[in-house]
Chain A
């Protein structure tokens, strides 16, 4: 039956298309975009099917490669959380790649074939990271996705290669520290399988290697997730990369790294052991809280929309990691829900900035004016939806993840983090509403000229509008059917909740 093969089929599809695209691209360059859509379309379909299959049957699929049973062989674990994240990242990638058709003509003409090949490799890495049940295998997929994202970031503006080089240095150090942590754990447990190691850790938890391994792994993955003091690579990379690259990496890359933190902290170590030797969750919570405020304040200070969104990413990642650090059911629900919501919101916002760049040639907030609402009515409507959701107003998705995170902080009586959530919502409002104000309100000084000038509707084309519309509707749907999604998240809890 094909249902049990899904964990292997998803990465294999990406490998297949990573080979097919350059081969066919040499012969017919025009169809590489269609091929990449076909690839992500197939994986989105497979992951949706697998997700529904998993909800209906309720049993985790453990796929053993080559028939070797763990802990000797490598396995892919397709449980509720992995299925959910795989569905989110593949669907977002599909939508962003639809949008990339116009961007690829403008921002990197003639480089379509390598761009889509690297995209497929990057998605292979991300899917592998989510699905794998083996710590070293995770490192390999981490490096596959990282190397591809360095290359994707380097395809962009003039400064992009330097931003990408800085990311490469920091990212590789992060990857190596993670590997060193895995080595420490291997020396004391003798296994690399996450489930197997989880069973052995209680016997060796007092060992100093385990404590060192936990610190090294959190720092290593924290670099990839842009946890507050390790976020230095993120703003430049996202700003100078091509619009469709940042729309792809911003919602997916940091979320997958945050997912690794879920796995390492809540599934590998577990709620009981994680604070046994060191107050890890408290420390991560403090950094996440500082990161939320720092990212929001830096976002207010930016005058370039992509840079503002990049700093806003630092802040939003803080929410997810704060949810993990609470280590209670509400925090977990909030964090998982925020992975979905933030992936939708950030992808949508980066797509809006890409659309504006394709039409106006820039995305400087200072140059925004109220002619935009007539020129791009639907793009701006999508932007408004995402902005309101980021601030967290009730009918939209962003409210609910913050609501559960707030409930989580209340359950832990952690009033400081509760205050951080509330203050950062206000700060979000500051940096999004100043754009909305420029777009939707008349500037009194220019009022006389505005009325005489006739502004033509200059809306972006279908391939750009369609993914933005789907995501904006998605935010509304996720918000309205929130209770249903939360019920599904209830089945994903790690042991010990």
Chain B
């Protein structure tokens, strides 16, 4: 049982990050805190991909002397990392759009608290 927990500890951290992110988005009343929760949620997904590509005893995916390319166990898988570069860019763009919207909301209603906002809308 302990092996199961210890052997997958990276995934447990991913799970914790995803849960913290969801908690922030669902239960926090401040809209900025919701975007922080969103960011943590995306970071969880990104860390999941990065930890999947990790190999014990393997080196960076740059061809080295004495390590034939045919033995793939010697090299880490670079693809998930490159994918996550794109995902990080997407995350940054999402945050940019979110904060632009928050500025608009604040200009129109003068608050970023969800409850006050809903009161003012009604």
Contact = CB atoms under 8 A, between A and B. Distances in A.
Interface of A: 136, 139-140, 143, 147, 150-151, 154, 158-159, 161-162, 164-165, 168-169, 172-173, 175-176, 179-180, 183, 186-187
B101 A165 contact: yes
Q: Determine chain B's interface SS by DSSP, over half rule.
A: helix
Contacts of A139: 87, 90
A173 B94 CA distance: 11
B63 interface: no
A168 B25 contact: no
Contact of B52 (A150, A161, A164, A187): A187
Given A158-B108, A162-B117, A172 B38 contact: yes
B25 A186 contact: no
Nearest to B82: A136
A183 B49 contact: yes
B102 A165 contact: yes
Contacts of A162: 105, 109, 117, 121
Nearest to A140: B86
A173 B105 contact: no
A176 B97 contact: no
B101 A150 contact: yes
Given A169-B34, A187-B52, A161 B93 contact: no
A172 B95 CA distance: 10
Nearest to B103: A161
B102 A172 contact: no
B42 interface: yes
A253 to B, nearest CB: 16
Q: Name the 6 nearest CB pairs between A and B, nearest first.
A: A161-B104, A143-B90, A165-B101, A161-B101, A161-B105, A176-B45
B41 A173 contact: yes
A255 B108 CA distance: 32
A389 to B, nearest CB: 35
Interface of B: 22, 25, 31, 34-35, 38, 41-42, 45, 48-49, 52, 80, 83, 86-87, 90, 93-94, 97-98, 100-102, 104-105, 108-109, 117, 121
Nearest to A162: B105
28 contacts: A136-B83, A136-B86, A139-B90, A140-B90, A143-B93, A147-B94, A151-B97, A154-B101, A158-B108, A161-B101, A161-B104, A165-B102, A168-B94, A168-B97, A168-B101, A169-B25, A169-B34, A169-B38, A172-B38, A172-B41, A172-B42, A173-B38, A176-B42, A176-B45, A179-B45, A183-B45, A183-B48, A183-B49
Contacts of B41: 172-173, 176
A189 B3 CA distance: 25
A151 B104 CA distance: 11
A136 B104 CA distance: 32
A151 B86 CA distance: 21
Interface hub of A150, A158, A162, A173 (most chain B Cβ within 10 A): A162
Contact of B87 (A154, A158, A159, A179): A179
Contacts of A143: 90, 93-94
Contacts of B25: 169, 173
Contact of B45 (A159, A168, A180, A186): A180
A165 B52 contact: no
A162 to B, nearest CB: 6
A180 B42 CA distance: 10
Contacts of B22: 173
A179 B83 CA distance: 10
Among the interface residues B100, B117, B121, which one has the most CB atoms of the partner chain A within 10 A?
B100
A147 B45 contact: no
Nearest to B31: A165
Contacts of B121: 159, 162
Given A150-B101, A151-B100, A162-B105, 20 more contacts: A136-B83, A136-B86, A140-B86, A143-B93, A143-B94, A147-B94, A150-B97, A151-B97, A154-B100, A154-B101, A158-B108, A164-B101, A165-B31, A165-B102, A169-B38, A172-B41, A173-B25, A173-B41, A176-B41, A183-B80
